Chains A and B, each alone.
Chain A
Amino acid sequence: MYDVLVIGGGVVGGLILRELTKYRLRVALVEKEDDVSMGQSRANSGIVHAGYDAAVGTLKAKFNLIGNRMMPSLAKDLGVKYVNNGSLVVAFSKEEIETLYELKSRGEQNGVAGLQVIDRTELLKLEPNISEEAVGALLAPTGGIVCPYELTIASIGNAMDNGAELFCGFDVCGIERAQDGFTVQSVSGQEIQAKVLINCAGIGGGKIASLLGDSIIVKGRRGQYILLDRESGDLVKHTLFFTPTKKGKGILVSPTVDGNIILGPTAEEIEDDNVETTSIGLENVTAGAKKMCKNVPLYNTITSFAGTRAYTDKHDFILEESEASPNAIHCLGIESPGLTASPAIAKYVVEELVSKHFELVKNEDFQPIRKPDYFFKNLSLEEKNEMIQKDPSYGKIVCRCEQITEGEIVRAVRENPPARNIDAVKRRTRAGMGRCQGGFCQPYVAELIARELQIPLEQVTKSGGESYLLRGKTK
C-alpha cells in the first residue's frame, strides 16, 4: 500500500512526485505510455511565462508568478537547461499598443516585475529580425524558456533516486474505493493500492475523474509546431508573442534552450489525443512566423510535430479534492501557463492538500540535486578526458549532429527513469534530435538499447507499444 499514488507522468505529476519524496511517504507514479512525458509535456512551447497573461485573482496568475520565480533554482538542482531570455509581446498597430498597456497593468497587479512598453526603435535593437510592421512591444524581462520533457524526466528521475517508484505502461481502467484507500487497476491487469490518489492525467484526467465518481470534462486543443536547425538559432533572442486577441495568443517565435528556433503553436479543438500535423496547420504556423519576423529561414526546418493541451471550461487550474472520493485530489485543466506554474502547483498540492491526509515528516535523506549533468559536450576539456578515461564509451560519438556519446545513451537506458525506446533516448540525450533526425545514429542507438535491455533488435521500438523499428531479419 502506497501512501500516495500519482496518476500521470507529465510535468505536474512528476514535480508532485518529487515534492512528495521530500517527506517520509511511500509514493509511486503510474503512466499509461511506455515512457514519462508523453502527453502535453512532450510537445509544447517550453515557455516560462512572466505572468501578465492570466486574469487577476486566478490560480493561474498566482502559480504562474510563484513558478516563474522557482524555475531557475529548480532547473539548476535538476540539471535542466533554463534560459532567462525575456519575452516580448509585439504590437502591430496603435490599438495593439493600447492592449500592451492593459497587459502591463494586469501583469503589475499580478506582481510581475520589470514590465515595460518599448517603441519600435528599442524593439529593433533587441530583435533585429523583427517584422517591418511591428510598432512596439511589451518587454517582460522575467520571461524564460525551459525544456518541458527534460524538466519532467529529471523531476521523475530525481524522485525515483529519492525512493519513488514508477510504473510505465500502466493504463488505469478501474479504481475501487475502500475505507482506507484505493485499488487502482490497469488495462493489463495490474493492481496498485494507495491511500491517496492524485489525478494528474492531463487530457485523460476527465476519465480518471469519472472513475472516481466526479464529473469533470477535460477537452483537448492541438498545437502544431515547426522546429528550425540550431544554425538559425540567432533568428530571435527573446520569446516573441503576438498581442493577444479574442482568438487567443497566436503563433510564437522563440529560441529553445538547446539553441533551436520553435515556431507555433496552432490552437485547434480536437476530440481525442490526436497529434497529427495538417498542411493547413503548418501553413498557419509559417504564416504567423513570417508575420512576426523577416527572413524566417524555413529552409532550415528540422521537423514539425503536434502536441495537445488539456483544458476545462473553467479555464483556470483545478487543484482540489474529489467531491465523490475523499482522499483523491484533482490537478486538472493545467493549460498555459501550466509548465511555468508546475513547481508552484506541486508545492501547493503537497503542502496544502496532501498535508490534510498525512502528517508531513521531513525526509532528511532527500537529495535535491540530480546528477550527473546529461550533456557531455558541455563539459570542459579536462572533465571530458577524465570521463573518457574512466569510461571509454564517452569517447565514442554516436549522434554526430548533436555530438552525443555512447556513454550518455547507455546512461539514459540505465538511469532513472530508464529509457526503453528510441524516442525515450532521444528526449534524454538529444541523440536523433538534430538535423539528420536520427538518419545516421538510429541503428546504433537501437543496438545499444537492445544490448542494455538484453532484447533482440527486432523488439526495439520507436516509442513503445507496437512501434517496432524492424520487421524481421533479411533473407
Chain B
Amino acid sequence: MKKKYDIVIIGGGPAGLAAAISAYDHGVQDVLILEREENLGGILNQCIHNGFGLTRFKESLTGPEYAWRFIDGVRERKIETLVSTTVLSVSRDKQVTAINERDGVFTIQAKAIVLAMGCRERSKGALNVAGTRPAGLYSAGTAQKYVNMKGYLPGQKVVILGSGDIGLIMARRMTLEGAKVLAVCEIMPFSSGLKRNIAQCLDDFNIPLYLNHTITKIEGKERVTGVVISKVDENKRPIVGTQRYIECDTVLFSVGLIPENELTKSAGVPLSLKTKGAIVYQNRETLIDGIFACGNVLQVHDLVDFVSEEAETAGVGAAEYVLYGNREKDVIDCKNGQNVSYVLPQKIDRNQKGIVKLYFRVTNTFKNCVIKLKSGEKVLTERKKRIAVPGEMESFLLTEELLAAVNGEIELSLEC
C-alpha cells in the first residue's frame, strides 16, 4: 500500500467527507480518508430521522441521505478511502499510525492532516449518580445504535436524563417503537436541544420535560427497576423533599457531547479548555503547522450543515498548505467576553483574505441583548439580538476592514 499522501483525513463522517471533497476541488488530489467503521458516513448512518440539510440543500434529508450526497462526491472524484481502519496515533511531524485487519499496523506520512474524528457522548459514569449500576443504562446514542442499526429495543419504560438533541430524538424513536417514555429530566432551567426537537419529539407525543430536575438515584440489581428524580436549586443541588420515584426499566443519558481529541493530543496539538477541541485559525489550522481540525472534533455543532461548511474551510486550508507551504501569519487573538462561553476561531490570521465567520455560544438564555465586538475598550461593531440560547450556536461576520482596525486582540460579549 501507498505510504505517502499529500493529505490524510482522519474520520469519514460528514466532516472528513466534506474536507476531502473541498481539498480535492481546491487542487490537491492525493487525499486519503481513514475511517474506523465499515462504512463512510459516521454517526449520520444511525440518524435515520429527517431534518438534515435544511440550511445547505434547502430540503429535509435523513442522516444517511445527507451522508450519501458527500459519499457520492468522494466516489465521483475517486478519492481514496480506507475503512475498518482505526488510527492509533498522530505525530507532530504528520505521521499517522493506523491498524486494520488486512494491513496490520502501518504508518503513513502526510504533508497535511485534517482531524475529523467527531465527538463522543458524555457517559453516565461521569455524573456520579448514586445507586446501582444494573443493565438498562444507556447513552442515548448507544440506544440509537441498537434501535436503528441493530434492530433491537433496549427497553420499554424509559426515563431520559438530559435534553440534548440525541435524547430528544430518542424519546420520539423509542415511543414510535412501542416504548413508553415517562420523563425527560433536564438539570438546567433550559434545554440544550433545538427548539424544533422539543416540539416535534416531546410535545407532539405528550412526553413531559422536567426542567431543573435530575436523577438522584438509580435502583435495580440486575436490570433497572426505577429512578428517583429530584428538583434542583439554582446551584444544581437536589432540593430535599422534592424526590419522586419513577418505575422504569431503562435510563437514557443525553448529557453532553465531548470532542474526541485523543489523537489530537497524541500529536501535541494545543486544545482550548472551553471547546475541548483544538485552538484554530479561521482556516481551521491548529497551532501545529499543517494539522487542521473541523466538525465536532473541533466544536460540537448543532447542525451537520455547519459541520460540512467548516470542513470545507479546513479542506481548502489543508490544500493551500500542501500547494503553497507554510505562510507567515499576522495574528489577532479572539476572546470570549461577558455571557459568551466560547468563540471560534480563537485566532485570526490577517494575511488570509476574506470575511471571517466567528462562531460563539452564550452561557444562558438572554433576551433583548446586544452582541458587542470590542478591541480593548473600543467597540468595533455591535448587533441587537432578540433572543440567544446556549443550545443554538451563533455567528458574527468580521470583514477585512473591521479586522484591519484591530490592535492585538478582539473580545466578543453579550450585554443586556
Q: Which residues of A contact B (CB under 8 A)?
A: 226-227, 231, 275-279, 281-282, 301-305, 381, 384-385, 388-389, 392-393, 395-397, 400-401, 403, 435-440, 442-443, 447, 457-458, 461-475
- B130, A282: Cβ atoms closer than 8 Å: yes
- B124, A388: Cβ atoms closer than 8 Å: no
Check: B109 CB closer than 8 A to any chain A CB. Answer: no
Check: B51 CB closer than 8 A to any chain A CB. Answer: no
Instruction: Give the CA-CA distance A384 to B142 in the complex, in Å.
Output: 30
* Min CB gap A317→B, angstroms: 29
Select from chain B the residue with minimum beta-carbon distance to A464: B222
Contact of B130 among A278, A301, A437 (CB under 8 A): A278
- A276, B132: Cβ atoms closer than 8 Å: yes
4 smallest CB-CB distances across A and B, nearest first, come from A303-B125, A462-B135, A392-B101, A437-B123
Interface 0/1 of B130-161, CB less than 8 Å to A: 11111100010110011101111111100000
Select from chain B the residue with minimum beta-carbon distance to A275: B132
Check: B322 CB closer than 8 A to any chain A CB. Answer: no
- B152, A277: Cβ atoms closer than 8 Å: no
- A470, B36: Cβ atoms closer than 8 Å: no
Contact of B120 among A231, A302, A439, A464 (CB under 8 A): A439
Interface centre among A305, A439, A442, A458, by most B CB within 10 Å? A439
- Number of residue pairs across A and B with beta carbons under 8 Å? 138
Select from chain B the residue with minimum beta-carbon distance to A403: B88
Check: B363 CB closer than 8 A to any chain A CB. Answer: no
Contact of B36 among A397, A464, A466 (CB under 8 A): A397
- A440, B120: Cβ atoms closer than 8 Å: yes
Instruction: Give the CA-CA distance A196 to B86 in the complex, in Å.
Output: 52
Check: B208 CB closer than 8 A to any chain A CB. Answer: no
- A439, B36: Cβ atoms closer than 8 Å: no
Which chain A residues border B265 with CB–CB below 8 Å?
Answer: 231
Which chain A residues border B124 with CB–CB below 8 Å?
Answer: 437
- A472, B152: Cβ atoms closer than 8 Å: yes
Instruction: Give the CA-CA distance A457 to B147 in the complex, in Å.
Output: 13
* Min CB gap B83→A, angstroms: 11
Given contacts A388-B105, A396-B84, A403-B88, contact A436 B130 (CB under 8 A): no
- B101, A471: Cβ atoms closer than 8 Å: no
Instruction: Give the CA-CA distance A39 to B384 in the complex, in Å.
Output: 61
Instruction: Give the CA-CA distance A277 to B129 in the complex, in Å.
Output: 8
Q: Which residues of B contact A (CB under 8 A)?
A: 36, 84, 86, 88, 99-105, 120-121, 123-126, 128-135, 139, 141-142, 145-147, 149-156, 176-178, 216-217, 222-223, 238, 249-250, 262, 265
Contact of A279 among B102, B103, B152, B216 (CB under 8 A): B216
Given contacts A388-B105, A475-B178, contact A466 B222 (CB under 8 A): yes
- A282, B153: Cβ atoms closer than 8 Å: no
Which chain A residues border B153 with CB–CB below 8 Å?
Answer: 470-474
Interface residues of chain B: helix, strand, loop or mixed (majority)? mixed
Select from chain A the residue with minimum beta-carbon distance to B179: A471
Instruction: Give the CA-CA distance A438 to B253 in the complex, in Å.
Output: 13
Instruction: Give the CA-CA distance A22 to B125 in the complex, in Å.
Output: 41
Which chain A residues border B88 with CB–CB below 8 Å?
Answer: 397, 403
- B128, A301: Cβ atoms closer than 8 Å: yes
Which chain B residues border A440 with CB–CB below 8 Å?
Answer: 120, 142
- B86, A397: Cβ atoms closer than 8 Å: yes
Select from chain A the residue with minimum beta-carbon distance to B154: A470
Which chain A residues border B176 with CB–CB below 8 Å?
Answer: 475
Given contacts A389-B104, A395-B102, A397-B99, contact A439 B139 (CB under 8 A): yes
Select from chain A the residue with minimum beta-carbon distance to B142: A439
* Min CB gap B181→A, angstroms: 14
Given contacts A385-B105, A468-B223, A474-B147, contact A304 B128 (CB under 8 A): yes
- A473, B151: Cβ atoms closer than 8 Å: yes
Instruction: Give the CA-CA distance A112 to B152 in the complex, in Å.
Output: 57
- A226, B101: Cβ atoms closer than 8 Å: no
Interface centre among B36, B102, B152, by most A CB within 10 Å? B152
Which chain A residues border B178 with CB–CB below 8 Å?
Answer: 475
User: 14 additional contacts, CB 8 Å, given A435-B120, A470-B153?
Assistant: A276-B132, A279-B130, A301-B125, A303-B125, A436-B123, A436-B139, A439-B123, A447-B150, A463-B135, A463-B222, A466-B222, A471-B153, A471-B154, A473-B151
* Min CB gap A446→B, angstroms: 9
17 residue pairs bridging A and B, Cβ less than 8 Å apart? A277-B130, A278-B130, A279-B130, A279-B216, A302-B123, A303-B125, A392-B101, A400-B86, A401-B262, A438-B123, A443-B150, A457-B150, A458-B152, A465-B222, A467-B134, A471-B249, A473-B151
Which chain A residues border B149 with CB–CB below 8 Å?
Answer: 443
Which chain B residues border A474 with CB–CB below 8 Å?
Answer: 147, 151-153, 177
Instruction: Give the CA-CA distance A303 to B126 in the complex, in Å.
Output: 5
Which chain B residues border A447 with CB–CB below 8 Å?
Answer: 150
- B152, A457: Cβ atoms closer than 8 Å: yes
Which chain A residues border B217 with CB–CB below 8 Å?
Answer: 276
Given contacts A305-B133, A474-B151, contact A439 B126 (CB under 8 A): no
Contact of A469 among B86, B135, B147, B151 (CB under 8 A): B135
- A277, B142: Cβ atoms closer than 8 Å: no
Instruction: Give the CA-CA distance A442 to B150 in the complex, in Å.
Output: 12
* Min CB gap B339→A, angstroms: 22
Instruction: Give the CA-CA distance A302 to B84 in the complex, in Å.
Output: 27
Given contacts A301-B126, A437-B124, A443-B145, contact A385 B152 (CB under 8 A): no
Instruction: Give the CA-CA distance A457 to B139 in the complex, in Å.
Output: 19
Instruction: Give the CA-CA distance A277 to B149 in the complex, in Å.
Output: 33
Which chain A residues border B132 with CB–CB below 8 Å?
Answer: 275-276
Instruction: Give the CA-CA distance A382 to B177 in the complex, in Å.
Output: 48
Instruction: Give the CA-CA distance A279 to B236 in the complex, in Å.
Output: 14
- B125, A470: Cβ atoms closer than 8 Å: no
Given contacts A468-B135, A469-B135, contact A384 B120 (CB under 8 A): no
Which chain B residues border A436 with CB–CB below 8 Å?
Answer: 120-121, 123, 139
Which chain A residues border B128 with CB–CB below 8 Å?
Answer: 226, 277, 279, 282, 301, 304
Which chain B residues border A393 with CB–CB below 8 Å?
Answer: 101
* Min CB gap A442→B, angstroms: 6
Select from chain A the residue with minimum beta-carbon distance to B99: A395
Select from chain A the residue with minimum beta-carbon distance to B84: A396
Instruction: Give the CA-CA distance A470 to B103 in the complex, in Å.
Output: 35
Which chain A residues border B141 with CB–CB below 8 Å?
Answer: 439
Select from chain A the residue with minimum beta-carbon distance to B151: A474
Which chain B residues border A461 with CB–CB below 8 Å?
Answer: 135, 222
Instruction: Give the CA-CA distance A475 to B132 in the complex, in Å.
Output: 30
Which chain B residues border A395 with CB–CB below 8 Å?
Answer: 99-105
Which chain B residues border A466 with CB–CB below 8 Å?
Answer: 222-223
Instruction: Give the CA-CA distance A426 to B121 in the complex, in Å.
Output: 19
* Min CB gap A8→B, angstroms: 20
* Min CB gap A161→B, angstroms: 28
Instruction: Give the CA-CA distance A385 to B150 in the complex, in Å.
Output: 31
* Min CB gap B14→A, angstroms: 17
Which chain B residues border A442 with CB–CB below 8 Å?
Answer: 142
